[in-house]
Protein backbone atom coordinates (compact mmCIF):
# COMPACT_ATOMS: atom_id res chain seq x y z
CA UNK A 1 0.00 0.00 0.00
CA UNK A 2 1.37 3.39 -0.98
CA UNK A 3 0.02 6.84 -0.38
CA UNK A 4 2.52 9.67 -0.82
CA UNK A 5 1.98 13.35 -0.05
CA UNK A 6 4.21 16.30 -0.86
CA UNK A 7 4.74 18.55 2.17
CA UNK A 8 4.87 22.02 0.56
CA UNK A 9 2.18 22.48 -0.52
CA UNK A 10 0.38 19.50 1.00
CA UNK A 11 -0.77 17.66 -2.12
CA UNK A 12 -1.23 14.04 -3.09
CA UNK A 13 1.76 12.77 -5.05
CA UNK A 14 0.86 9.11 -5.37
CA UNK A 15 -2.02 6.83 -4.44
CA UNK A 16 -2.27 3.11 -5.06
CA UNK A 17 -4.77 1.94 -2.48
CA UNK A 18 -6.47 4.60 -0.38
CA UNK A 19 -9.56 6.40 -1.58
CA UNK A 20 -11.98 7.38 1.17
CA UNK A 21 -9.19 8.04 3.66
CA UNK A 22 -7.33 10.64 1.57
CA UNK A 23 -9.13 13.69 2.95
CA UNK A 24 -8.57 12.50 6.50
CA UNK A 25 -4.87 11.81 5.81
CA UNK A 26 -4.47 15.25 4.21
CA UNK A 27 -6.11 16.90 7.23
CA UNK A 28 -3.82 15.06 9.64
CA UNK A 29 -0.76 16.15 7.67
CA UNK A 30 -1.91 19.77 7.56
CA UNK A 31 -2.70 19.78 11.29
CA UNK A 32 0.77 18.43 12.10
CA UNK A 33 2.75 20.19 9.36
CA UNK A 34 5.01 22.14 11.75
CA UNK A 35 5.99 18.95 13.60
CA UNK A 36 6.63 17.13 10.34
CA UNK A 37 8.83 19.96 9.04
CA UNK A 38 10.77 20.06 12.34
CA UNK A 39 11.49 16.36 11.99
CA UNK A 40 12.78 16.87 8.45
CA UNK A 41 15.20 19.66 9.42
Q: What residue ranges do the domains of the chain occupy? A: 3-40
Q: What is the pLDDT of residue 21?
A: 81
Q: Which residues, including other chains, have CB under 8 Å from residue 26's CB and lie 6 or more apart?
A: 5, 10, 12
pLDDT digits (tens, 9 = 90+) for 1-41: 678 888 888 888 887 777 778 888 889 999 999 999 999 87
Q: pTM score, two decimals? A: 0.66
Residue 31 pLDDT: 96
Predicted local distance difference test score (pLDDT) of residue 26: 87
Tell me the C-alpha distance between 3 and 29, whole Å: 12
How confident is the model at residue 34, as a pLDDT? 93
Q: Give the integer Cα–Cα distance in Å for 7 and 4.
A: 10
Amino acid sequence: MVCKFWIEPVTLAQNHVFARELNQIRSIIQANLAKIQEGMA
